[in-house]
Amino acid sequence: MLDLFNRFLIRVLSSRFARRWFAGLSSEERATALLQFWRGANTGLNDKERYLLVRKAYDDRRMKNYALQRSGRYARIYGFFRLIEELGPVQGDIVECGVGRGISLACLVYAVSFFRLEKMVYGFDSFSGFPPATVQDIGTRVTTVDKPPTGWGDTSPDLIRSIFECDRAIPESLLRAHDVRLEIVPGFFHETLSNNLPKRIAFLHVDCDMYESTKIVLEHGLPRMSPGGIVIFDEYHDEHWPGAKKAADEVCAARGLKIEYLAVAGRYGIRIPQ
Ligand SMILES: C[S@@+](CC[C@H](N)C(=O)[O-])C[C@H]1O[C@@H](n2cnc3c(N)ncnc32)[C@H](O)[C@@H]1O
């Protein structure tokens, strides 16, 4: 019965009408609407399942009706939970470089909360879009150098904070049971990373698409990785962003680090040797 109800909710939210309605909302309204949906869907699901459901819907802003199964996108959510759980005993904090509108960041925050870890979460982003592209980025997405690729300008630290504020306002919030210290650091990486990264990092999520961005993140981030820590690349093997793989290959080869496929998250990454 409960399962039927949840399927019904997913269907309703997947309808063309819902998609149109959703597309017309501001980012803050979307976050609120989805959190309300989460509350509505609180029918026999445990915290993690509810979280996965709402984040799935949020992740899928176009509201396509993916079943709640291990699709490529769901794998990232599921995988982040599994990987963060593993990192409990590893020293250091959780860092994301490339926050965008906070989808994966929210997943990291919720995983830390769910497993009640005493780890801070850091989110770095310009919050004003990309820096200029270089020749290494030329591919299906970037065709001209020296100009910033379009996209990701419509976000802000306040939007990200509002997602968690909306959440804390509801009684079922995971964050009420175990809150997470979150540090949002706005600005381009070359201006922010050196002074604001934590001393030790347990988990580094590299989701910044471009060659120079990936390179600078790895150059600053890798020396701080704890033994047993994990680095995940969102765009390794993404034909739209060839620069991300080039930068990861170059920096890791120079440091003797092996990049491997981490099936649990459906992403490539590095397990830092113990
Ligand atoms: C693909 S989006 C991140 C998506 C996000 N992780 C999610 O799950 O939705 C890439 C982000 O990287 C940021 N970015 C790329 N290069 C950057 C740089 N050098 N400094 C700061 N931000 C950068 C962009 O502003 C953009 O928001």
Looking at 32, 49, 69, which one is the last position of a domain?
A: 69
pLDDT at 86: 92
**Residues in the chain, pLDDT under 70:** 1-78, 170-172
Shared-domain flag, residues 43 and 94:
no
CA of 215 to the centre of ligand 1 (A): 13
Q: What pLDDT score was predicted for residue 69?
A: 34
Q: Whose CA is nearest to atom 9 of ligand 1?
A: 103
Q: In terms of domains, do 204 and 216 share one?
A: yes
pLDDT confidence of residue 77: 65
Give residue 84's identity as a one-letter amino acid code.
Answer: I
In this structure, the answer to whether residues 59 and 123 fall within a common structural domain is: no
Same-domain check for residues 99 and 62: no
Judge if 196 and 144 occupy the same domain.
yes
Nearest to 104 by CA among 124, 132, 131: 124
- Pick from 55, 68, 50: which is nearest to 105 by CA? 55
Same domain for 236 and 176: yes
Same domain flag for 262 and 182: yes
Long-range contacts of 156-160 (CB under 8 A, 24+ apart): 156/127, 157/127, 157/184, 157/186, 159/27, 159/28, 159/31, 159/101, 159/102, 160/99, 160/101, 160/102, 160/105, 160/123, 160/184
Co-location of 104 and 54 in the same domain: no
In DSSP terms, 203 is beta-bridged to 94, 230
Per-residue pLDDT at 39: 45
How far apart (Å, rounded) are the C-alpha atoms in residues 125 and 209?
12
Specify the residue with its C-alpha closest to ligand 1, atom 6: 99
Least Cα distance to 159 among 101, 218, 210 occurs for 101
CA of 123 to the centre of ligand 1 (A): 10
Residue bearing the CA closest to ligand 1, atom 15:
208
- Final residue before a domain boundary, out of 69, 85, 120: 69
Q: How many angstroms separate the alpha carbon of residue 174 from the centre of ligand 1?
A: 26
Q: Is 152 in the pocket of ligand 1 (CB under 6 A)?
A: yes
CA of 69 relative to ligand 1 center, distance in Å: 27
Q: Which atom of ligand 1 is found nearest the CA of 188?
A: 20
Q: Are residues 165 and 42 in the same domain?
A: no
Q: What is the pTM of this model?
A: 0.81
φ and ψ of 146, to 5 deg: 75, -5
Determine how many CB atoms are found less than 10 A away from the CB of residue 96. Answer: 27
One domain, residues 103 and 221: yes
Same domain, yes or no, for 76 and 145? Answer: yes
Are 183 and 81 part of one and the same domain? yes
Ligand 1 pocket mutation pick from 108, 147, 152, 212 by most atoms within 8 angstroms of CB:
152
The CB of 104 under 6 Å from ligand 1? The reply is yes
Q: What is the CATH number of the domain that holds 180?
A: 3.40.50.150
Range of the domain at 16: 1-69
Which of 19, 37, 69 is where one domain is finished?
A: 69
Number of domains in the chain: 2
